Amino acid sequence: MTLVTTLTAIAVAFIISVILGFVIIPALRRMKFGQSIREEGPKTHQKKAGTPTMGGLIFIGSIIISTLSLSYIYDVLTTQTIVLLLVLVGFGLIGFFDDFIIVVLKRNLGLTSIQKLIGQIVVAVAAFFLLKLGPFDTTVQIPFTEFKMELGIFYVAFLIFWLVGFSNAVNLSDGLDGLVAGTSSIAFGAFGVHALIYEQYDIAIFAFVVTGAMLGFLIFNVKPAKVFMGDTGSLALGGALAMLSVLIKQEFLLLVIGIVYVVETLSVIIQVISFKTTGKRVFKMSPIHHHFELSGWSEWKIVIVFWGVAFLAAILPVLMEVM
């Protein structure tokens, strides 16, 4: 797989995302699929009410079209490619139903936590058994070491935990214009490089396609956002990112490359535990990007700093691999 192939994957997905953006965003406006803003959130976010949501349809469509087309052209359409698309679409559908219930049916809570969890478990289990149709390594490896731990049939439990955990982590992080679109393009690009290093070209194509699709979506999502990805997009991205780490057998590397999502999630956990046990809050508001907002940081500053952290976290493991 050459540099030209990599750039082609990014460029094709970018262009398709932009085209779909110009088609889908006006359609979302016509159907009045506008975002509702939580009352308990930062007051500055109230002006974002009514911005079209469910924009994840833009980049999910681009990823599907680009991945299938390029995988066929370069003859790298494999079971692993299908599994990645299954997780992307499966988690995206769960998010879509959640968004639809909130935006269209006007039921503010959307799907219940149990309903989301059941859907996520079904998708994860389906992905596991699809992988098991062929040879699939059920070990997990500690990054930068040779140590591997065999999980056997218990790997399915790990897979469920991993996919559900990271899909929800990305979902929690999706609170500022361009934050997740930028960090996810960086994370998928980093995993694309790792896939190239391990000569897993089918996975590399998917990873770079997502990078291009997210950069295309970022044109519409950067502040001031013309569209939000909604749960449709954030759940799909989180699930696909976790599945990517599984397929290149670098599961725990995601804790490094996805450090922004890890910290955002930890901030929520810490806040809840602290308030329930002591009645005090550690942060002014969680997830932690809201804490910085209430501390006086501009939305742009928070997003750029988080992008920078994501870039450093992504590039360091790559440098360690190639050195």
Q: How far is CA 159 from the centre of its chain?
A: 16
Q: Where are the alpha helices (DSSP H) in 104-154?
A: 113-131
Inter-CA distances, 22 with 12, 15, 16, 236, Å:
16, 11, 10, 21
With 0-12 / 13-18 / 19 or more C-beta atoms within 10 angstroms meaning exposed / middle / buried, residue 258 is buried
Inter-CA distances, 217 with 12, 156, 300, Å:
13, 33, 17
| Phi and psi torsions of 34, nearest 5° | -95, 150
Hey, how many other C-beta atoms are within 10 angstroms of the C-beta on 97? 17
Please report how the helices 3-30 and 56-73 are oriented relative to each other, as an axis angle in degrees rounded to 10: 150
- Please, are residues 292 and 302 in contact by the beta-carbon 8 Å criterion? yes
The answer to whether 177 is annotated as binding is no
- Please, are residues 103 and 53 in contact by the beta-carbon 8 Å criterion? yes
- Please, are residues 194 and 322 in contact by the beta-carbon 8 Å criterion? no
Which of 187, 198, 201, 120 is CA-nearest to residue 159?
120
Binding region for Mg(2+): 171, 231
Binding region: 171, 231
